[in-house]
């Protein structure tokens, strides 16, 4: 995703309004920066997210920082919080069974189950051999 987005920025290509865009800190930076600097990094990401949304992008998220507002999904029609996220936890779910906003009925871009999953923030082992064809 990052290389495609970087290419779009460099070439001036346009994102589609319903395209998912994530603004994030580099993982190497996370390991090097002290905790005290996290606020300024979050403020910078929040500003980038705000600018992208002001320019017509509907689904812009902040990544690699703890930011409930920036990692949640809002209805492009009425602005209602439709999927609340705090880390890996789902805190709100206001979608109909067919992926529309419960408040105004607008379609939310994506593929959704009728009810939210319960993945949570726990770590689970995954054996790739179990998924090999």
Task: Please write the tens of the pLDDT for every residue from 92-132.
Answer: 999 999 999 999 999 999 988 888 877 777 777 778 888 87
Q: What is the pLDDT of residues 48-76, one digit of tens each?
A: 889 888 888 999 998 878 889 999 999 99
Range of the domain at 58: 1-70
86 CA to centre of own chain: 11
What gap in Å lies between CA 70 and CA 61, rounded to an integer? 5
Q: Say whether pTM exceeds 0.75.
A: no
For residue 26, is pLDDT > 70?
Answer: no
Confidence of residue 9 (pLDDT cuts 50, 70, 90): low
Q: Where among 17, 51, 70 does a domain terminate?
A: 70
Same domain? For 61 and 81 the reply is no
Same domain? For 1 and 65 the reply is yes
| Triad 15, 18, 19: Cα angle to 5° | 50
Same domain? For 52 and 25 the reply is yes
Sheet with strand 73-74: strands edge to edge: 73-74, 81-86, 89-93
Same domain? For 97 and 128 the reply is yes
């Amino acid at each position: 995703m990052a290389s495609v987005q970087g290419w779009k920025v460099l070439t001036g290509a346009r994102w589609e309004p319903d395209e998912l865009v994530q603004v994030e800190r580099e993982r190497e930076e996370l390991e090097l920066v002290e905790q005290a600097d996290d606020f300024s990094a979050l403020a910078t990401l929040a500003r980038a997210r705000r600018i992208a949304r002001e320019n017509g992008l509907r689904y812009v998220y902040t990544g690699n920082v703890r930011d409930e507002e920036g990692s949640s999904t809002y209805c492009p029609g009425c602005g209602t919080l439709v999927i609340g996220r705090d880390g890996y936890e789902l805190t709100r779910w206001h979608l109909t069974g067919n992926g529309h906003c419960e408040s105004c009925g607008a379609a939310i871009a994506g593929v959704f189950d009728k009810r939210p999953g319960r993945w949570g923030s726990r770590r689970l082992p995954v054996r790739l051999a179990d998924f090999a064809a």
